[in-house]
Amino acid sequence: MTDDTARVKRGAQAAQREARRAELVDAAIVAIRRNGPDVAMEDIATEAGVSKPILYRHFQDKAGLYMAISEQATHRMRSALLPGLSAEAEPRELVRNAIDTYLRFIEAEPELYRFVMRRSFPDRAVAQDPVTTNTELIATALSGIFGDQLRRLGMDAGGAEPWAHAGVGMVQAVGDWWLEHRSLSREAVRDYLLMLACGAIESIFAAGGSPERMLLETPGTQLPTAKPTRRLSSGPIST
């Protein structure tokens, strides 16, 4: 067998292994949808039509399978989110679409989302965590767009990165809450988050991106207070 023939054979075998892994991941996702985030390896093996040793042969252990499932799930999320993060988009529409896309993913794949977000394997490096990687990629895209817009206007863009990570973390945290409570519609959650995000963005642009300018121009700013319209009891209101 020539070297070229051997390389072709190894390439074909590697492609077959990758295709088989992809089939097993697809079967695992079906099992997660049916059995929830605490799905057992036995359930996944049954769905895939293989034995558990076959699963371990392809993924080494349960953590390896989790990583493969999470990589596929987060890739799907990024594929939906990132095309809409365009510097040409109007900021309000960009933020609205990003929030809505994230919430739609949760709505469409609640059990898969729970599986991906709630697993923890402390023996694995953080750099290997698909969720961390996904968060970083989305925040980096937002940071680039936000920073470019601030610089284009001659403003301080130093806060673009922490602001982007704060925005991604906010949406993720609210998405986790909404998944469990569902006390509001997706549209309502999206619009409330949009209100908060746009208020923050407007404040940033009004201050030229400068924390010092914000503090100088709005010293001692206080939130409006509402006076009680009625007493809840006949006694004095305690303080």
Domains in the chain with CATH codes: 13-59 (1.10.10), 71-207 (1.10.357.10)
Rounded to an integer, what distance in angstroms lies between the CA atom of residue 38 and that of residue 120?
A: 12
Reported as half-sphere exposure (CB side, CA atoms, 13 A), residue 68 has a value of: 22
pLDDT tens-place values along the chain, 239 residues long: 676 666 656 666 668 888 999 999 999 999 999 999 999 999 999 999 999 999 999 998 888 899 999 999 999 999 999 888 876 778 889 999 999 999 999 999 999 999 999 876 656 665 568 888 899 999 999 999 999 999 999 999 999 999 999 999 999 999 999 999 999 999 999 999 999 999 999 999 999 999 998 888 765 556 566 665 554 444 444 43
In this predicted structure, what is the pLDDT of residue 235?
Answer: 45
In this predicted structure, what is the pLDDT of residue 219?
Answer: 57
pTM of the full structure? 0.82
In this predicted structure, what is the pLDDT of residue 26?
Answer: 96
CB contact set of 189 (below 8 Å; sequence gap of 6+): 103, 174, 178
Sign of CA dihedral 127, 31, 50, 10: negative
24-65 per-position pLDDT tens digit: 999 999 999 999 999 999 999 999 999 999 999 999 888 889
In this predicted structure, what is the pLDDT of residue 189?
Answer: 98
Reported as half-sphere exposure (CB side, CA atoms, 13 A), residue 224 has a value of: 2
